[in-house]
A = this chain, B = another copy of it.
Amino acid sequence: MKPRVTGEDIPRHRFPVDPWRLIETEPNTTDLGLTETLFAVGNGHVGMRANHSESLRAHTPGTYVNGFHETWPIVYPEAAYAFATTGQTILSVPDANIMHVSIDGEPLTLAEADLEHYERTLDFRDGRLDSDVIWRSPAGDRVRVHSRRMVSLMHRHLAVLTLEITLLDRSAQVGVSSQLLNRQDGDGFQSTRHGDDPRRASKFNRRVLVPEVRRHIPDLGSGGEVTLGYRCERSGMTLACSYRHEIVGEGPMTIETVVGDDLATTEFTIAGSPGSTIRITKFVTYHVSRHVTAEELADRCASTLVEASSLGVVHVEQQQRHWLDGFWSHSDVLINGDEPAQQAVRWNLFQLAQATARTDNQGVAAKAVTSGGYEGHYFWDTEIYVLPFLAYTNPDAASQLLRFRYHQLDAALTRAGELSQRGALYPWRTINGEEASAYFPAGTAQYHINAAVVSAIEIYVNASGDLDFLAHGGARILVETARLWEDLGFYHYDGETFHIHGVTGPDEYTAVVNDNTYTNMMAQFNLRYAARTVTWLSESDPEAHEQLRTVTGLTDDEVDSWNRAADAMFVPYDETLAINPQDADFLDLEPWDFEATPSDSYPLLLHYHPLVIYRHQVLKQADVVMAMFLRRQHVPTELKRRNFDYYDPITTGDSSLSACVQSIVAAEVGHHELARTYFDQSLYLDLANTHGNTEDGVHVANAGGVWAGLIFGFAGMTDDGDRLSFRPRLPSGWNSMTFRLLYHGTSVEVTVDHVGCDVRWIAGPSLPVETPHGVVNVSGDGVLRLGADR
């Protein structure tokens, strides 16, 4: 059995407890990369890592624009037919964060500076990163430097940086060098540890961004407006970025702007006097495109800056607060009785806001826009981990993510063809819709990505009641994914059972197996949901049904064949252990020798050849247990418990996708302490850097998993499409937990305590809730009281 992490072992983060902020009280000198991630700001479209504006020193500085990527031919040392051929890597875009400060020519270098005061704050309600230092310069004079950074959650293309410098002791020449820097290493993503760590992004050794635009519209009072534009050499994507300053302050000033291909600098030299504050606001904008020229994007940048200036920084900041007020009113989860957990929960929810606010026509990358980790690729993380949160708090955003998958359906149809299959096969990892996984046993073989997309559709439609999306987009995805399953699987020669072979389930510590329980259960769901939806459509919307038939060539026989396959679907079950084997052969594998595995040999993937891992009973992450979660309404609790009890001791949790799921199912089967332990592992995964790689970006799926752990785990919520139900089981250390949901347009507040929960209507139509005595509709001032699950 693997060494179990207990609640006591989980390192809490080292930041002061505050319910609405993450605060750093001294400069980080040891793990800059970690705080660059934890304090990053973004809006799902643009993201800025939290390298200090004032400082030269950074671990992995970078600004990212969701989906802005370069392609490259994947070269295999030994290739085979239909291997993925197009690598896709998100690029760091030119960095506008840099605003170096000097006093009388002495540069402020945080790492070496004599600081009287230091505080950096990420505020979850203001949506801003503020840094405040009082610096004693080598000449002995104190200077207060306050910098503020915001990526607008309202305005997709806008970021605002503000620098306030106050001389506290005497007059001096204040210098500010404000830059826009295209780092020559292209993807701007470097790390020295783990040379072979497959979770890292690859690097280019060529110029990737070809300069196309270099504009400077001078302005005496501000240094003018600067725009740099580029084209990606291979992908052809274009980018333009601009900045413009506003200066408030006394004293004579010189401003000089120099613009090169890869560096634009506006140098301010200001005669500062003690007590007065010099304030420089830098409006920054990024526009990217797959279609239009960098020149045209440069024009769009100009428009954005005009709009931002006319709004003014104060108003932009107010809008940010307003947006977040709205966010928290739908999405907050109050933890009563555990302030550190409250803070950590809010940090995770804030990450979800920053990952999804403005994704618009893109997906959510594994690290959102907090780094180039995992090459900026979209995985099933979005559908399984992030989308449920959105479905119940921000259905518009959920809908957009599903439409994004709809737009990539053609590429998925093509990919299925390459794999000799009918229907559609979504890529395991992608930006542009093409499969980018260069290791098929843990990539393309994860056919279950299809079911993840479909599961997200079901959750979204159940939560929102948006049948229009189902009829005019979702249905086509359902048809094409069901087709793939029906074609991929086959009937055993006895004709009675339907099998799916040669696939990899969620657990990447076995690969290319037969009848993976998770995959078969999810495929079964996918087939049935597709069949049900087509039938429903034929009855409720004949026109949409006919259109679907035309577009997909669907026949009635086909729908029957899906139901037949679903009915005949083989789900492995072992009579002796009374559990679901992870796959047809899993129980026959040799047990992993956990006793003989040193603690520094985790994660196993960095210390053992895949062949060694694959042939043992050892899991990277929840697999059958994941199925117990996603199909929880369809599995008896006793079976869930037996499965959990079998797999939990052999699940390493080497994947960050595991802890939250283990937590939910542990709660479901009554292992309440373990549920809390796994929840804490999930909650502090990034904040305490328990996986050691938060420097490579926020684990966004895990942040979604924190929400899922609260709502599906501790509140025990399930959704049958027309009603919600709750089986509350609050962790013993908490007094209560309160959260809000949107359900079919109804806003509802749920408060969970140790004896049950209250369901309170807030706005919208009445809410059907399942109780032991049948469905009750909650509305008006009525509060529905439900008992606890233990």
Q: Which residues of A contact B (CB under 8 A)?
A: 74-83, 87, 196, 198, 202, 418-420, 437-441, 443-445, 490, 492, 499, 501-502, 511-512, 514, 584-585, 588-590, 605-612, 614-615
Instruction: Say yes or no: A609 contacts B77, CB within 8 Å.
Output: no
Q: For residue A441, which residues in chain B have a CB less than 8 angstroms away from its CB?
A: 441
Q: Indicate whether A81 sits within 8 Å of B419 (C-beta atoms), given known contacts A499-B588, A501-B589, A585-B585.
A: no
Q: Indicate whether A420 sits within 8 Å of B608 (C-beta atoms), given known contacts A584-B585, A614-B512.
A: yes
Q: Indicate whether A77 sits within 8 Å of B80 (C-beta atoms), given known contacts A585-B584, A609-B419, A611-B419.
A: no
Instruction: Say yes or no: A514 contacts B438, CB within 8 Å.
Output: no
Instruction: Say yes or no: A80 contacts B439, CB within 8 Å.
Output: yes
Q: For residue A75, which residues in chain B have a CB less than 8 angstroms away from its CB?
A: 75, 77
**Chain A at the B interface: SS class:** loop
CA distance A178 to B106 in the complex (A): 73
Most buried by B among A440, A607, A615: A615
Name the one of B80, B420, B584, B606 contacting A588, with C-beta atoms under 8 angstroms.
B584
Instruction: Say yes or no: B81 contacts A609, CB within 8 Å.
Output: yes
A282 to chain B, nearest CB (A): 39
Name the residue on B nearest A442 (C-beta): B78
Most buried by B among A198, A589, A605, A609: A609
Number of this chain's copies in the assembly equals: 2
Q: For residue A589, which residues in chain B have a CB less than 8 angstroms away from its CB?
A: 501, 514
Instruction: Say yes or no: A614 contacts B502, CB within 8 Å.
Output: yes
Q: For residue A514, which residues in chain B have a CB less than 8 angstroms away from its CB?
A: 585, 588-589, 615
Some 10 contacts from A to B, beta carbons below 8 A apart, are A76-B77, A77-B87, A78-B198, A80-B198, A80-B605, A501-B588, A514-B588, A514-B615, A584-B588, A585-B585
Q: Indicate whether A198 sits within 8 Å of B611 (C-beta atoms), given known contacts A441-B441, A589-B501.
A: no
A89 to chain B, nearest CB (A): 11
Q: For residue A439, which residues in chain B have a CB less than 8 angstroms away from its CB?
A: 76-78, 80
Q: For residue A76, which residues in chain B have a CB less than 8 angstroms away from its CB?
A: 76-77, 438-439
Name the one of B443, B502, B588 contacting A615, with C-beta atoms under 8 angstroms.
B502
CA distance A492 to B589 in the complex (A): 8
CA distance A75 to B195 in the complex (A): 12
CA distance A584 to B513 in the complex (A): 12
Name the residue on B nearest A421 (C-beta): B612
CA distance A441 to B504 in the complex (A): 15
Q: Indicate whether A609 sits within 8 Å of B438 (C-beta atoms), given known contacts A198-B80, A512-B512.
A: no
Instruction: Say yes or no: B419 contacts A78, CB within 8 Å.
Output: no
Name the residue on B nearest A493 (C-beta): B591
Q: Which 10 A-B pairs have the closest CB atoms?
A: A502-B615, A77-B438, A78-B439, A82-B609, A501-B615, A490-B590, A78-B438, A74-B77, A420-B612, A79-B196
Q: For residue A77, which residues in chain B have a CB less than 8 angstroms away from its CB?
A: 74-76, 87, 202, 438-439
Instruction: Say yes or no: A611 contacts B79, CB within 8 Å.
Output: no
Most buried by B among A87, A611, A615: A611
Instruction: Say yes or no: A611 contacts B445, CB within 8 Å.
Output: yes
Instruction: Say yes or no: A198 contacts B79, CB within 8 Å.
Output: yes
Q: Indicate whether A81 sits within 8 Å of B196 (C-beta atoms), given known contacts A608-B420, A609-B418.
A: yes
CA distance A179 to B614 in the complex (A): 54
